[in-house]
Amino acid sequence: MDSRVAERLGDMIALLSVLGTTKVEGLALHGRELLSAAFWWGLAFLLLGFAEEFAYRGYSQATLAQGMGFWPAAILLSGIFGATPTSSSLWRTGWTL
């Protein structure tokens, strides 16, 4: 993690603690449970990364690039990828796209 990101994250947690909106008391998991959870979360994020790369830069980009050229396909898929977090936040509030 970049030191500036870690510093800002620490500042944010400190501010939330001062405001009384959060309380950090320690780790909920210890020992083997902590290692197991870290392993499975790490594996999940690794698989998510592979899935995103395949979906946005693998088959989709190769197929679109054949029909419309590399740069138009890259720009289109970048726009779709950028809109993805927006659609997932709408999904959490009950909206679907």
The domain limits of the chain are 3-92
- Tell me the H-state helices in 1-97: 3-19, 31-53, 59-68, 70-92
Which pLDDT score is estimated for 91?
52
- Alpha-carbon gap, residue 68 to 81, rounded angstroms: 18
pLDDT at 88 over 70: no
Which pLDDT score is estimated for 83?
79
Residue range 9-29: mean pLDDT, rounded: 82
Q: Is the pTM of this model over 0.85?
A: no
Which pLDDT score is estimated for 81?
81
The residue type of 47 is L
User: Are 77 and 58 within 8 A, CB to CB?
Assistant: no
